[in-house]
Amino acid sequence: MFTSKEIRSTFIDFFKDRGHQFVPSAPVVPIGDETLLFINAGMNQFKDIFLGMTKPDYTRAANSQKCIRVSGKHNDLEEVGLDTYHHTFFEMLGNWSFDDYFKAEAIEWAWELLTKVYSIDPDKLWATVYEGDQTDGSDPDHEAAALWTKVTPIPKERVLYFGKKDNFWEMGASGPCGPCSEIHIDLGPDMCDRKHVAGHKCAVNSGCARFIELWNLVFIQFNRLGDGTLEKLPARYIDTGAGLERIAAVLQNKQSNYDTDLFMPIIDAIADLTGHEYTSSLES
């Protein structure tokens, strides 16, 4: 079994072995960026690099970023407490390419790490890609769809197209953005928490706990300007984000992120102090 510490260090080491520089987590309060209240993704600290305003000494980076999602475009406040896999504060594992490798390597390495290193059953994994948008003329990401079946053994039936809401990632109302490709895991029919919802059908992006997004691979190519228009960036970048708490739940065979070693020491201490026994985050 992987402890959360091992999941984190394995992720960083995997990407260091592939030429990535480890960059420590930035503080959760952004420095010099008034477009965000809190850091909401690993890529925030690299914003000026994406915009071509600064050039780092390295072209590949990896880290584990502390994130808070309680406001703005990425606000998980409404989900927290209602499901087993959203948090206001969480850690995002990520790898970045600054005008270096692009979609093929990002997809191949994410698959390799999940299935060969963390040993997640490949038959449980699904991928999604951007279906494009006629209203703004953005193209479907057929390139990413083709790469999934070229550089990984995933069958094409498990590569699905979705729209802007799920497969076009933006850091905020403005800033670097681009189409993305997500990796979801099917945890099996017993994990569905929407069986009581009329007409619910378990599927990727159907909002139930059976299918959970583990990792988002963003292909940053645009800057969203303050007036809402998209400006093409002079270079292409990779920006990925994987949920440490979600990967821990999968690798530790827990039905809830709260039952992993990231939360249980805190929950146990609270149970001790209050004299209330903790049963499971799945029981109310």
The answer to whether 173 and 224 are in contact (CB under 8 A) is yes
Q: How far apart are CA 76 and CA 269, in angstroms?
A: 26
Residue 65 CB, nearest approach to ligand GLY (Å): 9
Q: Which residues pair with 80 in a beta bridge?
A: 83
Instruction: Pick the closer one to ligand GLY by CB: 162 or 278.
Output: 162
Which two tokens mark 46? 């690299």
Residue 227 CB, nearest approach to ligand GLY (Å): 23
Instruction: Pick the closer one to ligand GLY by CB: 111 or 168.
Output: 168
Residue 213 CB, nearest approach to ligand GLY (Å): 9
The answer to whether 65 and 47 are in contact (CB under 8 A) is no
Which two tokens mark 131? 């279906």
Secondary-structure breakdown of the chain: helix, strand, coil percentages, each rounded to the nearest 5: 30, 30, 40
Interface residues toward ligand GLY, by CB under 6 A: 41, 43, 169, 216, 218, 239, 241
Residue 80 CB, nearest approach to ligand GLY (Å): 17
Instruction: Pick the closer one to ligand GLY by CB: 40 or 260.
Output: 40
Instruction: Pick the closer one to ligand GLY by CB: 23 or 192.
Output: 23
Residue 201 CB, nearest approach to ligand GLY (Å): 25
Residue 169 CB, nearest approach to ligand GLY (Å): 5
Q: How far apart are CA 158 and CA 161, in angstroms?
A: 10
Taking CB atoms, the residue at the shortest distance from ligand GLY is 241
Q: Which residues pair with 130 in a beta bridge?
A: 162
How wide is the angle at C-alpha 185 spanned by C-alphas 184 and 188, nearest 5°? 140
Instruction: Pick the closer one to ligand GLY by CB: 184 or 192.
Output: 184
Instruction: Pick the closer one to ligand GLY by CB: 172 or 241.
Output: 241
Q: 52 Cβ partners below 8 Å, 6+ apart?
A: 233, 234, 235
Sign, Cα dihedral of 77, 260, 110, 25: positive
